[in-house]
Amino acid sequence: MSTVHRTRETLDGFREFKLRRSGARRLLAVLILVLDVGGGAPSRGIIARMRAIIDRWKDDHRFLSGTDDDPMAAMHAPSDVVVIGRCDSTGRSATGTSM
């Protein structure tokens, strides 16, 4: 199956997680997810993690968060790296390490 077909399947799968399925940034986010897993369909867990990242960013920055953040959330979703921690005004996390 082609990357285009996997991208369409993944867009359809976004419905389950109540993620919008239209717009260039959402399409770019889906393409990033598909390419990150080697052209296959990303797992439900990866899509759920992307949703969790977006939700956390909206909780912290409701007035700044939007669909333009979707590609960045897609880049972080397949990783085990914590990207939803809080930083102070110096850019340091609660543990004193840079985020």
Strand partners, 93: 87
Task: Give pLDDT, residue 83.
Answer: 59
Q: Please spell the DSSP secondary structure of 3-39, one letter per residue.
A: HHHHHHHHHHHGGGGT----SHHHHHHHHHHHHHTTT
Task: Give pLDDT, residue 85.
Answer: 56
Task: Give pLDDT, residue 72.
Answer: 92
- With vertex at residue 99, the alpha carbon angle to CA 10 and CA 77, rounded to the nearest 5 degrees, is 10
> Which tens digits make up the pLDDT trace of 60-74?
887 877 788 899 999
Going residue by residue through the chain (99 aa), what tens digit of pLDDT does each one get? 788 889 889 988 888 898 887 889 999 999 999 999 999 999 999 999 999 999 988 888 878 777 888 999 999 999 877 655 555 555 555 544 444
